[in-house]
Amino acid sequence: MEVKGENEYHSMPLILAGIFLGLGLGGFVDGIVLHQILQWHHMLSNVRPLKTVSNIDLNMVWDGLFHAFDWLMTVVGVALLWRAGGRKDVPWSRNTFVGSLLIGAGLFNFFEGLIDHQILGIHHVKPGANQLVWDLGFLLSGLLMFVVGSVMIKHQNRHLQQRM
| pLDDT per residue as tens digits for the range 48-105 | 877 888 888 999 999 999 999 999 999 999 999 999 999 999 988 999 999 999 999 9
Residue 9 has pLDDT above 80, yes or no: no
Residue 65, domain extent: 12-163
**pTM greater than the 0.75 cutoff:** yes
Strand (E) or helix (H) holding 161:
helix 131-163
Sequence-distant (≥ 6) Cβ neighbours of residue 86 within 8 angstroms: none
Find, among 113, 127, 90, 121, the residue nearest to 15 by Cα: 90
Among the ranges 26-30, 53-57, 153-157, which has the highest mean pLDDT value? 26-30
* Residue 60 is assigned to a structural domain of this protein: yes
* Residue 7 is assigned to a structural domain of this protein: no
Do 110 and 139 touch, CB atoms closer than 8 A? yes
* Residue 101 is assigned to a structural domain of this protein: yes
| Residues belonging to the chain | 164
Residue 135's pLDDT band, with cuts at 50, 70 and 90, is very high
Residue 14's pLDDT band, with cuts at 50, 70 and 90, is very high
Domain count, the chain: 1
* Residue 4 is assigned to a structural domain of this protein: no
* Residue 64 is assigned to a structural domain of this protein: yes
d(CA 154, CA 151): 5
Q: What is the pLDDT of residue 2?
A: 37
Q: What is the pLDDT of residue 162?
A: 66
* Residue 6 is assigned to a structural domain of this protein: no
* Residue 1 is assigned to a structural domain of this protein: no
